[in-house]
């Protein structure tokens, strides 16, 4: 992450370059309200500030560790209203951990089923395929 200094103005391309977030994704985050609508130049181009750049870094990092949009929205709401407490962040985080653990459990089940299907495959030149048959069941 690049160091952010105060008082800069960034075009959307610069925001994208600095954060690694695709330009269309930045626009999407604005559309769904995770990012505030930026000021506009006389020509209509988006103009972002240092605070918005930091927010985009925050959103990106949250997405990288699997927080959902609603979880990110909850965290940002706490930050935006200056009523953030460690206990509230802990609550959102532990709920996310439970979701991650459930996904891991589900992926292990999926791996087992797929492995069983693959093990039944003869890998031959016959037209019958147990994998396809299992998918039709």
pLDDT in tens, 76-119: 999 888 878 889 899 999 999 999 999 999 999 989 888 887 88
Domain count, the chain: 2
Say whether both 62 and 93 belong to one domain: no
CB 81: neighbour CB atoms within 10 A? Answer: 8
78 found inside a domain: no
29 found inside a domain: yes
36 found inside a domain: yes
Say whether both 62 and 4 belong to one domain: yes
Q: What percent of the chain has pLDDT over 90?
A: 66
Q: How far apart are the first and last CA of the chain?
A: 49
Quick one: which H or E segment has residue 48?
strand 46-49
Say whether both 90 and 28 belong to one domain: no
Mean pLDDT of the 19-29 span: 97
Structural domain range at position 11:
1-67
Q: What percent of the chain has pLDDT over 70?
A: 92
Domain boundary among 18, 38, 67: 67
Say whether both 4 and 47 belong to one domain: yes
The answer to whether residue 73 scores a pLDDT higher than 90 is yes
79 found inside a domain: no
Residue 6: its pLDDT value, please?
60
- At residue 70's C-alpha, the angle toward residues 65 and 73, to 5°, is 90
Residue 81: its pLDDT value, please?
86
Tell me: the pLDDT tens digits for 28-44? Answer: 999 999 999 999 999 99
CB 74: neighbour CB atoms within 10 A? Answer: 17
Output the CA–CA distances (angstroms, integers) from residue 125 to 2, 53, 70, 119, in the order listed. Answer: 55, 56, 49, 16
105 found inside a domain: yes
134 found inside a domain: yes
Residue 116: its pLDDT value, please?
83
């Amino acid at each position: 992450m690049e160091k952010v200094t105060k008082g800069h103005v960034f075009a959307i391309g610069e925001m994208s370059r600095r954060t690694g977030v695709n330009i269309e994704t930045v626009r999407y985050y604005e559309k769904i309200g995770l990012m505030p609508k930026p000021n506009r130049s006389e020509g209509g181009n988006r103009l972002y500030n240092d605070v918005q750049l930091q927010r985009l870094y925050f959103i990106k990092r949250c997405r990288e560790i699997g927080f959902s949009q609603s979880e990110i929205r909850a965290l940002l709401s706490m930050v935006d209203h200056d009523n953030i407490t460690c206990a509230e962040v802990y609550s959102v985080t532990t709920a996310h951990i439970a979701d991650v653990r459930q996904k891991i459990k589900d992926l292990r089940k999926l791996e087992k089923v797929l492995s069983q299907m693959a093990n039944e495959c003869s890998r031959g030149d016959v037209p019958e395929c147990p994998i396809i048959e299992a998918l039709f069941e």
